[in-house]
Chains A and B, each alone.
Chain A
Amino acid sequence: MIDRPEVALDDLYREVVMDHHRRPRGRTPLARVDAHAHGFNPVCGDDVLLSIALDDERIVGIQVQGRGCAICTASGSIMAEMLPGRTVSEAEATSEAFRGVMHGKLAPAGVDLGDLEALEGVQKFAVRVKCAMLPWVTLADALRAWRTGGAEATSTTEQELGR
């Protein structure tokens, strides 16, 4: 009989994650929106609407809307809390580092993942990695569209799989 390696629920839903899930940050509308994207997870129908206010290269505000599971909600909430004050390239480095962690890599030295570290346990639940990545895939698209001066971007976690 083959049993999956024992996975503890508490490793997925750590205290910090549950806290962000219960009281998600970054729900207040922004006074000004400079970048915008809509992310969609076709596996479960979850979506994330991301609005970003920028001051030059610096992120000054993030609003996260949409419907998601605890993991997706917590991931978006942590993003909204940690990114304001960082530059676009710092945000992108954070995003890359987090993606690496979700795929079993160590975070590179010098990148502070803050509360995102609490999502580390998600990597053991393969289907849930997409949930954690959805806000970040959406962020990447919003920033890409903003850079190229393009319109609103739409992204899905299928793109995440291809990466």
Chain B
Amino acid sequence: MAPIASSAAGFDPRALRTRFPILDRKVHGHRLVYLDNAATTQKPAALLDALRSYYSNSNANVHRGVHTLAEEATGLYEACRGRVARFVNAPEERAVVITRNATDAINLVARSWGATLSTGDEVLLSEMEHHSNLVPWIMLARERGVVLRHVPITADGQLDMAAFASLLSRRTRIVALTAMSNVLGTINPIAEIAEAVHGVGAVLAVDGAQSVPHLPVDFQALGADFLAFSAHKMYGPTGVGFLVAKPELLERMEPVAGGGEMIREVRLDWASWNDIPHKFEAGTPNIADAAAFPAALDMLEDIGMASVRSHERELVGYALDRLLGLGWLEIHGPLDPDRRGGLISFVDPEIHPHDLAQVLDTLGIAVRAGHHCAQPLMRRLGVAATARASFGLYNDRDDVDALVDGLVAARKYFGVA
């Protein structure tokens, strides 16, 4: 494994690239410039090795056997929980429920904590939420007659905190907000929000799908009640996500799925629940991917989340300068790199995002084009779709330069003067 040489940002993205086998491949004859990290990140060889090692050496079901393999598999699965608890500074390992993804984790909160709400109670969301943090609440509203309210965004794509303060009331039972927008890049002031939310006796559920992979996140310091995120956006495997929650809240919640693992005792017509967090993990979980995930956490912890953030902050600042320098792009979200994570949504008014992404693809540059699972936000921004470049650890200024050259090439291709 190549050493990660030191640089100003604390590590060298070029050296890091050699750890990601996929970054060696060519796309349409070009070096792959992968700028779709907000959708999912690429996987380091160490993760692939861990997956292989799990299946080659330790595969068995968990919590169900006394044989050596069962014990090893259980140990590896539970070790993932422990590592994640440490990674986000959860108060205890019991605070971590292993789910399928961030979406699954948010649905768990909406269905289980949501079941304590009744008609007229309010859930406060925002205009910048991903469908994952909108639809579970819409389902809850339909089922229980709770009222959904939405914090508007300001012209530069930040939460309107004055509006937030006036929307928050004693009727508010749950506030569910993203810590970082997957479209605008906006980093929201979660700690400040948590205080206000608790002030009215509500709980705060944080969608950490974009923040946990890219910012230092301390669950206890944040003061949130729930935090949802996905392993696959943090250089880990697909199919594993997490709900980190205050254990005293988990204790009070009912499970939403029944089956094996989640029970203590079952009779023909009666059952009692296992302890937290197991009572929320019905059936055989995604053992292999959970067992492998610590290999990705090793890498993030080696580099350090503060360095990850400073690298991406530097890169997004550079990218903003270069993209604005083109003079023709509409850029959505805050222009201050201190207030945005490593992603930029933009529109070339002369070229539809789909066409733009198509041209970039022929140059080996992977960006996302579309509504980014945020149709209400698109409507608010007055666009049908945007193109989005989102950065990861292995991206550097060369990748931004390739993107900028690609955007110029697209204008040429489409005959835009």
Contact = CB atoms under 8 A, between A and B. Distances in A.
Interface in B338-357: 352-355
A69 B370 CA distance: 11
B384 to A, nearest CB: 4
B385 interface: yes
A70 B359 CA distance: 12
B21 to A, nearest CB: 10
B24 interface: yes
A68 B352 contact: yes
Contact of B384 (A46, A125, A128, A131): A46
B415 A22 contact: yes
Contacts of B378: 45
Contact of B24 (A1, A18, A22): A1
Given A3-B27, A7-B28, A69-B352, A12 B384 contact: no
B26 A70 contact: no
Contact of B362 (A7, A22, A71): A7
Given A9-B359, A44-B385, A45-B370, A1 B375 contact: no
B82 to A, nearest CB: 37
B308 to A, nearest CB: 28
A13 B358 CA distance: 10
4 closest A-B pairs by beta carbon, nearest first, are: A69-B352, A69-B354, A45-B384, A45-B371
Contacts of A46: 352, 354, 384-385
B385 A6 contact: no
Nearest to A22: B415
A128 B385 contact: no
Interface residues of B, number: 24
A9 B358 contact: yes
A132 to B, nearest CB: 11
Nearest to A67: B384
Band of interface residues on A: 20 to 34
A23 to B, nearest CB: 12
A30 interface: no
Contacts of A70: 352, 354-355, 414
B25 interface: yes
A20 B28 CA distance: 27
Contacts of B270: none
B60 interface: no
Interface string B354-381: 1100110010000001110001001000
Given A3-B25, A4-B27, A4-B28, A45 B375 contact: yes
Interface of A: 1-4, 6-7, 9, 12-13, 18, 22, 43-47, 67-71, 73, 125, 128, 131
Given A1-B24, A6-B28, A68-B352, A45 B362 contact: no
A131 B369 CA distance: 13
A17 to B, nearest CB: 11
B366 to A, nearest CB: 12
A131 B413 CA distance: 19
16 contacts: A3-B25, A4-B27, A6-B29, A7-B28, A44-B369, A44-B371, A44-B384, A45-B378, A45-B384, A46-B352, A46-B354, A46-B385, A67-B384, A69-B352, A69-B354, A125-B358
Interface centre among B27, B28, B359, B378, by most A CB within 10 Å?
B28
B28 A45 contact: no
B26 A44 contact: no
A94 B295 CA distance: 55
A125 B361 CA distance: 12
A9 B24 contact: no
Given A13-B413, A69-B354, 17 more contacts: A3-B28, A4-B28, A7-B28, A13-B355, A18-B414, A43-B370, A45-B370, A45-B375, A45-B378, A45-B383, A45-B384, A46-B384, A67-B352, A70-B352, A70-B414, A71-B354, A131-B354
